[in-house]
Amino acid sequence: MENIHIVVCDDEVSAVKLIKERLILILTPLIKFACYEYTDPYEVVNLAKDTHIDLLLIDIEMPDIKGFDVVKEVRRHNNQILVLFITNMDMYVYESFKFQPFRFIRKSHMDELNEALVSAVTIIKNNMEIFNIPINLVTNKEVKVNDIIYFESLHNNVKVVLNGDSYVYRSTLKHIEKQLEGKKFVRIHSGFLVNLKYVYLIRETIVEVNCSNKKILLPLSRNRRINLISEYKRSLR
């Protein structure tokens, strides 16, 4: 597996050093990673323009620019980044929710960082997993599981829909469902298997999914609706 890219940003050098030490201690046995250390938040924004950042640990209250604004700029280039806000300011907890952070950690409770790092890396590793699509008898197309939006049954074939692309190949939804067990894919209809990450809205008999910044309507069986809602809530937790 390729290195993941982790950024630590705090205007205090001592805080950056402490977090970096935790990263090395906790993550070295789990995954290969490259760590970028910054006390200037503007350098984080510049890095995000040409480097995919998987995990950002950032202070909120910094001179000139808040951590919230840095996250907003970084997500212009990468909306899949996981963010851990680390701060002394409890008053920012509720405001931080607007930026959908993975965790909010107070500097007075840095012991919480250990579990947060392990959980974040688990998610990142899952997002980097590869799914092989047999294009023909000798060629496979490798795609990230995280990039798959849904599968549709087409008689003896299936269509896999990605952001901006799709492929048809010989298989069954039953077989694919087994392959992706535990990967947050849910059967919403006899003919559709959906990645919960892309579910936008659940109606009575329709599921709206985000596909290449467009909404697509997929059929939802009434007898599968309760399970879908349950799995969707679990994925949010």
| pLDDT tens-digit series, residues 84-104 | 999 888 888 888 888 888 889
Confidence (pTM):
0.66
Give which of 91, 37, 47 is closest to 68, Cα–Cα: 91
pLDDT at 237: 61
130-236 CATH pick, 3.10.560.10, 3.90.1150.10, 2.40.50.1020, 3.40.50.2000 = 2.40.50.1020
CATH of 4-127, one of 3.40.50.300, 3.40.50.280, 3.40.50.2300, 3.50.50.60: 3.40.50.2300
- Asked if residues 86 and 10 have their Cβ atoms less than 8 Å apart, the reply is yes
Would 4-127 and 130-236 be classified into the same CATH topology? Answer: no
CA atoms lying within 13 Å on the CB side of residue 5: 12
d(CA 15, CA 148): 38
Say if residues 38 and 8 touch (Cβ distance below 8 Å).
yes
Distance in angstroms (rounded) separating the CA atoms of residues 10 and 42: 11
Model pLDDT, residue 2: 60
Tens of each residue's pLDDT in the chain, 237 residues: 568 999 999 999 999 999 999 999 999 998 899 999 999 999 999 999 999 999 999 999 998 899 999 999 999 888 789 999 998 888 888 888 888 888 899 888 888 999 999 989 888 887 788 899 998 878 899 998 888 999 999 989 999 999 878 999 999 999 999 999 988 899 999 999 999 989 999 999 999 998 877 899 999 999 999 999 999 988 776
Per-domain residue ranges of the chain = 4-127, 130-236
